[in-house]
Structures are given as structure tokens and as C-alpha cells.
Structure 1
């Protein structure tokens, strides 16, 4: 089913034509031309049955004895096919805010997630005839798409190259928009925007996952500190040996490297011990 234009004319012009027909009918009945008067009266009544008022950003779906004739999008007072059934559909932009869904991420961790979907109807025929109650269809399919996207990615990760629900909101929103659009295209609905509005671990594991996040963050930070410290020590040792400041054997080199690493990596500041020489005069 695809939307098409239905026949329509300006409603104010139609009212003038109806008034003329009624005047002709009255004139004919006065002068006893009953057949002409009845025809004019019936024509006026038929045209009046096609009068309808359409608001801005609204479509009027026209059915004639069960057959789809077309849709009218002209705002204001119009006259369309007489004796037709007309159903109106809003074309305005609307929001759908999903409830908080409990799903498992790709690692099996239970999370709570919610999203807002901004949409509008672009094909009134599809919305009316291809699905049953398109608004309810939008809600169910949006939540289904949100569940599908949430199960593809982890909630959080310290791998910079891995997409996560918490760290890549823009990419996740774009994928959610694409997923919802594919599901709602059949209903003649266009998705304007899709955004996550709530994301958190489920209450039963929130405390444990917080401790896990803290531990993972500490490990990642320690790893980066150690890698930086090794680089600093290597550069310092190479610079000392190249400048000829000191000449160290393997044992002294290991001791010096150990002391430098400890002083750089330690949480507390290193306490230096100053060697001022020996008390022995020899």
C-alpha cells in the first residue's frame, strides 16, 4: 500500500456551489419543476457529505465503500469524494519514551536501558492499512530494537578499540536509529532521532560491578604507569651511558634501574638516602 492523492477541491468554493444548488432547488420547487429541484437538492447533499476540515500537519485518508481512494493533505476546509469514509492521521513529529528495560549485555551482565524515539508518519496509507494500530506498533518495535542493540555490546570496557554502551553513545544511537527505521519502514514511519536516556547496571549487581570497574581502572592505570616508567628508565640509562657520566657494571645497572622504577611507580614519594662518605679515615 502506497499513499496517493485523492480528489479534492477548495471547501469554500464547494460551499458556494452547494448554496447555488440549494437556491436552484428552491427556485425549481417554487415554479413546480420538481425533477430539476430534486436533482439540484441531491447534488447539494452529495457535495455536502464530502466536506471535511483538515488541520496543519494532518492527512485525511479517504475510503469509498471499503476501497482506498487516496489521501488529502491540503489544510483547511476541503471537499473530497462524496459518501466516503474519512480517517485522519497526524503527521506531526512525536516522541516515544520507552520504559526501562532489563536486558543482558554481550557479556551476560544484566543492565537497565531506556531510549527516546522521535518519529513522524510520512505515508498515511501504510500507517493506516499495512499495520494494525501503528502507534502501538511503533512502541513494541522500538523496544524490540533497543533490546537487540543492547545485547550486541558490553556495558563498559577499558579497551579503547571496543564499542561500549556507556562510552560510545553517538555510535550506539546511530545504530539504534537504523535498527528502528528498518523495523518501522513497513508502517510508513520515519525515525528522526533515537537516543539512550537511561543506562545502568541492574540493582542486584550494581555494587559488585562498581567494585569491578574500580579494580579494572586501577589495573589499567598501573599498567600505563609501569609502561611509562620503563620508558623513562631506559632513556635515563642510555643518556647516562652515552654522556659518559657513569660507568656501571651489570649488577650496578640492575640496582639503579630497580631504584628508579621504585621511585617512579611508588604511590608515596621516594625518601632518598644521602651517602656522605665513611667515618673511617682510611
Structure 2
């Protein structure tokens, strides 16, 4: 005995075109059959009346209409014959079943989902996805309900991407959900394309509409972000202050403005750092004596 994988067991359908008749031509034939019936009734021609009536019964049920970006799969006793993508009034044999499928773009905004990101932090995430049917045969025959299939797969894809990256990276060394929208959005589109290929659905565009920490950790993460911002600002401030102090001491030495020993140089550095790095304005003290008083 040999075992088959799910992919081997699935009979993948492929769309093919079928030639339906222009409905306006058949409409003229229908009007002609009506005229023949009237003529046969007037002349009491029984065989002609029966033939015209049969033609009328055969032609009338075969009409259907297709709007732009709409297709109809033609089925004969359960067998798929092809897809008609023409527009306007169309006609086919009345014993053929026509299943209409919209190939227009669909816009779906997923519900807000709670997902654990790469670091295990609970986050809330939602996405907007623009999708459309590209293969009507796959959409109708390879899945039970292609719209419900798309909804479930989009939710699963959003969850997968949300758990694949951290929400934020305070070291700015890796890809994050918050800091790399375009890159993560493109990966989400590729993920959804793979998941929806079974149903003959293509994804044209997708992106996040909601992205935030879950309420239970939002306050703590906000304080962490604020602390990181304060540390980063202090680091930049100290780096700038050290450069200014170094420049001041160098200029004083080059221009021979004042000669300072190590102790007075250290005191000057300390005073300059306090002035440059302090959060409040400093109060100057005027020294009317010497530097050593």
C-alpha cells in the first residue's frame, strides 16, 4: 500500500476559457421563433408550430448576463467545461449550469487580533488586505467557500507575521513590526499569496491598520520607551558637552588666555559639564578675586 500526501490527493483545477454565444444573436432568433409561432398559428400549420415552440423553449432558458469583471463557470453534469469572461448578454445551452464568480478587487480589514510577538510580548494587530480571484476554477472547485477560506487564511497569515518579529527594538539592530512597515507588509503579502494560492486568489496590497501593545503591558512598555528616550537624549547631550569642553580648553591653551594646573582644569571641566548638562538654568557667581580664592 502506498500513502498519499494531501497535496497528491488534491486534484488541482485550472481555469480554461469556453466560447459562449453572443446573447443578442440568440435574442434575434428568439424573436424570429415568436414570429414563426404567430405565423403557424394563423395558418394552422401544426408541425411548424411545434418546431417553433420547441425552439422557443430551448432558447429562452439559455440567456444570462455578465457585468464587467465578472465570470461564469460552465458545468455539464458536474464536469467543468470552461469559464466565460465575456460581458453583456450571453447565451449557452440551457442544460449547462452557469456559476457566476466576481473577479473584482475585494478589500478586507481583519479584526484586531491579540498575538505574542517574537519576544513573547502580547500585542494587538490588524491588517487591511486587497485580494481578487484570478482562477475561477480553483475558487469554485478546490475550496468549499473561497470567501470564508480567504478570511481564515488572512487571519492566520497576520498571526504568523505578528509572531515572527518583535514589536519594537530599542537597539535598532533588527527588523521590527513598528519600525519596518514596508518590509514587513511585503512579507505579509508574500505569506498570504502562498496561503491563498490554493483558492486561485491573488493579493494586490496589504498593510497594518492597527499595531499596539496589549492593554495589560502598554503602560509598562510606555515607561520603558520613555526611559530609553531619556537615556538616548542624555547620551547625545553628554557627547556634545564633552566636545564643547574639550574645544574650550584647547582654545584657552592655544591663545594663552589663562594657565591652569590639573586641579583648576578639573574644576573648570566640572563647572562646564554642570552648565551644559544641567536641566535648569545655572546661576552665575562672580569671582572678584583670583582663581584660587
- The equivalent residue for 1:141 is 153
1:219 aligns with 2:231: yes
Computed over aligned residues only, the root mean square deviation of the Cα atoms, in angstroms, reads 2.4
Aligned equivalents of 1:174, 1:221: Cα separation in 2:
33
Contact 1:118–1:192 (Cα < 8 Å) also in 2 = yes
CA, structure 1 residues 42+85, in 2 after alignment: closer, same or farther (shift >3 Å)?
same
SS at match of 1:151: helix
After TM superposition, the structure 1 = structure 2 runs for residues 128-277 of structure 1, keeping only pairs within 5 Å, are 128-277=140-289
Task: State the TM-score, normalizing by the size of structure 2.
Answer: 0.84
Aligned equivalents of 2:100, 2:142: Cα separation in 1:
16
Aligned equivalents of 1:202, 1:224: Cα separation in 2:
31
Deviation at 1:43, TM superposition (A): 4.5
Aligned equivalents of 1:37, 1:68: Cα separation in 2:
36
Unaligned runs of 5+ in 2: 1-12
SS at match of 2:192: helix
SS at match of 1:274: coil
1:91 aligns with 2:103: yes
- The equivalent residue for 1:104 is 116
- The equivalent residue for 1:59 is 71
Unaligned runs of 5+ in 1: none
Aligned equivalents of 1:124, 1:24: Cα separation in 2:
40
Aligned equivalents of 1:151, 1:209: Cα separation in 2:
18
1:124 to 126, 131, 136: 136
Deviation at 1:44, TM superposition (A): 4.3
Figure out how many residues of one structure are paired with residues of the other and give that number: 277
Deviation at 1:41, TM superposition (A): 4.5
Deviation at 1:33, TM superposition (A): 6.8
SS at match of 1:259: helix
Deviation at 1:85, TM superposition (A): 0.8
Aligned equivalents of 2:29, 2:146: Cα separation in 1:
38
Aligned equivalents of 2:254, 2:170: Cα separation in 1:
38
Deviation at 1:23, TM superposition (A): 4.9
Deviation at 1:52, TM superposition (A): 0.9
1:17 aligns with 2:18: no
Contact 1:105–1:151 (Cα < 8 Å) also in 2 = yes
